[in-house]
Amino acid sequence: MDRAAFEHLYLHANSIATLGFLRGMARLMAAPMPTEATPEMQEFVAGIEHDMNNPDTFDWSVYDGIDEGVEALGKAREEALAANLPFFNDCVEMSDEADSGDGMPDVARYLASVHAARERLAPRIDDSLAKVDHAALAGALATLPTDLPPLTGALSAAELEQWVELYEANHAGLLQVVEETRKPEPVI
C-alpha cells in the first residue's frame, strides 16, 4: 500500500473507532436509567456479592495473564512516548460544541478536524506505515463491502458515517481493519 492510501486509511480507521466510541457514549448517556433493577442486574449483583463473600471458591483464573498484559502495555506506552511521535487523539480533538444538536458527534466537523491534523500526524502515519502488518491489513481490507467508497481514498462526512454505522454493527472485516491499522500506535 502506498503512503497516500495508508494516510487515508489511518485517518479513517482512527476516526471510525473514535466516532463509534463517542456515539456509543452519547447513546448510553441518553438512555433512560431504569427505576428498578432488572432481573439481569439483580443476578449480576448477587454474583458479585457471592464472589466477595466466598473468595476461596472464586475462580481466580480470570486474572491469569493480567500481570504480563499490564507489563506489555507499560512497555508499549514507554516506547511510544520515547518515540516522541504525535498521537491521533492528541491531534484530533472533539469539543463539546461539535455535536449535531442531538448529543451525537457532528461527523462533518470531526472530519474537518481530522484533515486539519494531517500535517501534525504525518510522522505518526509514516511510523505506522512502517510497522503495520501489511499482509494482515490487506486480508482484512479484502473482506470489506465493495459498495462503499474505499477507506484508502478521500471520504465525505456522509461516506465516513456509513463506515461508522458498519463498525457499530460489528462488521468483522472492518473491526479487523481498524484494529490492524491502529495497532502500531498504542493507546496511551
Beta bridge partners of 99: 105
Helix, strand, coil percentages in the chain from 3-state DSSP, rounded to 5: 65, 0, 35
Query: pTM higher than 0.85 for the full model?
Result: no
The domain spans of the chain are 3-28+73-182
Q: Say how far apart CA 21 and CA 28 lie, in whole Å.
A: 10
Ordered per-residue pLDDT tens for the chain, 188 residues? 999 999 999 999 999 999 999 999 888 888 787 778 888 888 988 888 888 888 788 777 777 777 776 676 667 667 767 777 888 888 887 665 455 566 788 999 999 999 999 999 999 999 999 999 999 999 999 999 999 999 999 999 999 999 999 999 999 999 999 999 999 886 65
Is the separation of the CB atoms in 149 and 12 below 8 Å?
no
Dig out the grid coordinates for 117 from the structure.
Answer: 491534523
For helices 157-168 and 107-116, angle between their N-to-C axes, nearest 10 degrees:
110
